[in-house]
Amino acid sequence: MADEAKNWWETHAGNYQKQCRLPVEVLYGVGCPGEAELQLIGAVDGKRVLEIGCGGAQCAVAFARQGATVTAVDIAAAQIDFGRKLAAEHGVSVEFLQRDISDLSPIASESQDIVFSANAFAYVDNLQACFREVCRVLKPGGYFVWSDGHPFGHCLEDRLLRLTRSYHATGKSVVGAETGCAFANNHRTIGDLFNLQVEAGFVVERMLEPDSRKRYTGDRWYGLWDNSPERLALIPGTIVFKSRKTNGAVS
């Protein structure tokens, strides 16, 4: 999926950033509180933080403003360019790497205190490889905090708000291939997401499914595209995990 995700975001990143106008805060997704409320990560001053699938790097810049040493990775040059400008505007230093997040080879093993990601993993075909790389770069006892669209979302037809697909019908779906800029998603169950972390060497400490019937401060996705209040009243918008690298994990 690297080529599909790269092509889509190179084409649409500018419009996405204009539509969402994301604040420089650590946010997790639609229908979900931000880090200021959830407090899954806590203080990052003096810590090394890696954000993968950083998009426009609003979260990475927020971490840097809090005193962290931050590296941000994304597959799309358009997103990296936006992030560099944003970091400069806020007077902070962020190291940017453009690459597929399934391969974090430029980052040293056991070098990071925290790895963070929001709304990126549905674009990743080989999530097992990605999670193993995250485990490799984390220090023993380091935390992996991440979110993605809730797996129930792929079951619900967007406009009619009815189930049109089995929850167990996992795999990759592609739309818009005829336009030359396909949008692709990998559908996985909650069990898939949980077990892939365990297999990579993590202990899952928390899993959250925030109540998306509420409107949260900072949620700029609410009401955009198919994130209607009616849809978010039926299913969670976002799933969030906090996992810890075990001391015995293989790096």
pLDDT the model gives residue 251 = 44
**Rama region for 118: left / alpha / beta (φ>0; ψ in -120 to 50; rest):** beta
Quote the tokens at residue 159: 């406009």
Q: How far apart are CA 205 and CA 203, in angstroms?
A: 6
DSSP line for 134-155: HHHHEEEEEEEEEEEE-GGGGG
Torsion of CA 77, 108, 201, 46, to 10 degrees: -90
Q: How far apart are CA 108 and CA 104, in angstroms?
A: 9
pLDDT the model gives residue 249 = 55
The boundaries of the domain holding residue 108 are 2-244
Is residue 30 in a domain? yes
pTM here is 0.95
CA dihedral over 153, 157, 161, 166, signed as positive or negative? negative
pLDDT the model gives residue 180 = 66
Residue 52 identity? I
User: What's the CATH code of the domain at 113?
Assistant: 3.40.50.150
Q: How far apart are CA 147 and CA 153, in angstroms?
A: 14
Is residue 104 in a domain? yes
Q: How far apart are CA 14 and CA 184, in angstroms?
A: 19
Cβ proximity of 114 and 146 under 8 Å: no
Instruction: Count the domains in the chain.
Output: 1
CA dihedral over 39, 42, 44, 45, signed as positive or negative? positive
**Closest listed residue to residue 195, CA positions, set 128, 120, 108:** 128
Q: Are strands 171-175 and 183-187 parallel, antiparallel or unpaired?
A: antiparallel
- Which residues does the chain have with pLDDT short of 70? 1, 158, 177-180, 248-251
pLDDT the model gives residue 178 = 66
Is residue 249 in a domain? no
Phi, psi for residue 14 in degrees, rounded to 5 = -60, -45
pLDDT the model gives residue 30 = 96
**Closest listed residue to residue 123, CA positions, set 53, 170, 186, 187:** 186
Is residue 36 in a domain? yes
